[in-house]
Structure 1
Amino acid sequence: MRIATWNVNSVKQRVPRLLPWLDQREPDVVCLQETKLSGEAFTELLGAELAARGYEVAVNGLNQWNGVALLSKVGLDDVVVGLPGGPGFPGQEPRAVSAVCGGARVHSVYVPNGRVPDSDHYRYKLEWLAALTEFVRPDAETTVVCGDVNIAPADADVFDPAAYAGHTHVTAPERAALAELTGLGLHDVLRERWPEERFFTYWDYRQGMFHKNLGMRIDLVLAGGPLAERVAAAWVDREARKGSKPSDHAPVVVDFDVAPDGDVGPVVPPPSAARPRKGFTLPQSDIIS
């Protein structure tokens, strides 16, 4: 089974890239984030195309902001839309959807950004992660949490830790909240497979950060222990971040039991940019999605 997660940063804008990518990579389960469409609009836009490719679909979305979706060729049972018991800002936002796919409960999540440390939105982010942890807890062994978690788990997951000092995504409370989730027995399967490699999943559109490979790893696949043991390949599809009108995120692809493309490495294709010099300043007013 191949599971992929991708923050598409507006599914409407990304249709010309999404459908060919589905045909090329042929994932069995796809978790999408930042769809920015209501459920009705998502179905009107993509329902027929996805059905023709064999996907069942569960969507949690509103117009313009946030939104997640779950596509599956291997079953879509016991769908849960939203995060039970989760906080709101002020109401509960469309940031989570889950279902049982191929015997595992798969979550597509778009964790709140946090905006500025110690802000109301930052505290909301921590509360949201705590609610997700409680939701996952009973079935952690048979769970896969996929999505844009808006946290770099460690300093190795950003191009230059000093550049992010004072920003969200790298603070100790955020990382501790993520550690509470993984502490249920979930494994960061990409990092565990490639413990020493340098790779990212998000690059700001500005200042040529993708071409310079100045990024962060904030899109994760977290799998319960028995599922993590079945991982045959795990990689970032950097090719999908290249070319015309891309998302600012690249998909993460994980193969369980069988790797159709082989154990291809952490990034496909590998980046050509050298490791950057220290002292790079992030784009002004940078808000990471």
Structure 2
Amino acid sequence: MRIATFNINGIKARLPRLIEWLEETQPDVACLQEIKTADEGFPIKEFEAIGYGALWHGQKGFNGVAILAKGETPVEVRRGLEGEPEDEHSRYLEADVKGVRVASIYLPNGNPQPGPKFDYKLRWMKRLRTRAGEIWREEVPAVLAGDYNVIPHDDDVYSVPAMADDALMQPESREAYRVLLADGWTDALRARHPAGGVWTYWDYQAGAWQRDAGFRIDHLLLSPQAADRLIDAQVDKAYRGREKASDHAPVWVELRG
């Protein structure tokens, strides 16, 4: 069973690339982030035409998450995180699909820091940890997949000095991610590549892709019941190099059936 995460950076602009990737790699489940469309603009017919059902939590112009499943429609469990009622950002969607609890997550960027955007990021991470703890206690196979906007380790970035002041690499961001893992979640890509040096994002600026100046911010966290089934976790790096690609590459985990 292959579960993938893909920050598509605008589902309308990248739809041909997204359909191409789905048809070529055939993930069982695909969690999308930054769909950047209101609910009524989600291209469900295009996905159904290639055999995928979907749930989505849209927002006009930015944010937005979705979960696609091959041959079925995911069963929604939760839309949004509790704890901050005034937060209207579409950043979290959770569903049961093919016997696994799956969440599609688009964590706040947090820049510029320090400031209110960084404070919001850290509050959001606390809310995510609360929900993750509830899922963990259900003792179900679960995958928390998405763009976490956190570079966990120095070997997860092409240049530590280049990103030293960025919200993605601040000690508070890293600590919040580390605490989440310490609650009992397994970072699947890290488990398969413990030495680091694996990127999931390359900026559009300054020839980052051509220089391989990337970093790792897209993660799949596994509950113990899912981690026991882990076969592999990799990045579909080549898709970042295609015409009009997202600035993220798809990342996936393979679990035993």
Q: Same fold (TM over 0.5)?
A: yes
Taking the aligned partners of 1:87 and 1:236, their CA distance within structure 2 comes to: 35
Q: How does 1:183-262 map to 2 (within 5 A)?
A: 183-257=182-256
Q: 1:87 offset after TM fit, Å?
A: 6.1
AA aligned opposite 1:135 = R
Q: 1:180 offset after TM fit, Å?
A: 2.1
Are the equivalent residues in 1 in contact too, given 2:54–2:73 (CA < 8 A)? no
1:128 to 102, 124, 128: 124
Taking the aligned partners of 1:222 and 1:246, their CA distance within structure 2 comes to: 25
Taking the aligned partners of 1:139 and 1:172, their CA distance within structure 2 comes to: 26
1:84-103 alpha-carbon deviations (Å, 9 max, x no partner) = 22465xx3200110101122
Q: 1:208 offset after TM fit, Å?
A: 0.9
The equivalent of 2:68 in structure 1 is: 71
Taking the aligned partners of 2:61 and 2:55, their CA distance within structure 1 comes to: 18
AA aligned opposite 2:90 = P
AA aligned opposite 2:99 = G
Consecutive unaligned residues of structure 1, counting only runs of 5 or more, are: 259-289
The equivalent of 1:177 in structure 2 is: 176
Q: SS in structure 1 opposite 2:22?
A: helix
The equivalent of 1:95 in structure 2 is: 91
In structure 2, relative to structure 1, the CA distance for the partners of 1:78 and 1:186 (3 Å cut) is same
Structure 1 residues 19-28 or 50-59, which shifts more?
50-59
Taking the aligned partners of 2:75 and 2:121, their CA distance within structure 1 comes to: 28
Q: 1:80 offset after TM fit, Å?
A: 1.4
Q: 1:182 offset after TM fit, Å?
A: 1.6
Taking the aligned partners of 1:193 and 1:130, their CA distance within structure 2 comes to: 27
The equivalent of 1:18 in structure 2 is: 18
Q: 1:107 offset after TM fit, Å?
A: 0.6
Q: SS in structure 1 opposite 2:206?
A: helix
Q: 1:197 offset after TM fit, Å?
A: 4.2
Taking the aligned partners of 1:78 and 1:14, their CA distance within structure 2 comes to: 25
The equivalent of 1:108 in structure 2 is: 104
The equivalent of 1:285 in structure 2 is: none
Taking the aligned partners of 1:190 and 1:167, their CA distance within structure 2 comes to: 22
Identity of aligned residues (%): 40
Taking the aligned partners of 2:73 and 2:54, their CA distance within structure 1 comes to: 10
Q: 1:78 offset after TM fit, Å?
A: 3.7
Taking the aligned partners of 1:41 and 1:231, their CA distance within structure 2 comes to: 35
RMSD (Å) for aligned C-alpha atoms: 1.4
The equivalent of 2:114 in structure 1 is: 118
Structure 1 residues 67-76 or 20-29, which shifts more?
67-76
TM normalised by structure 1 equals: 0.84
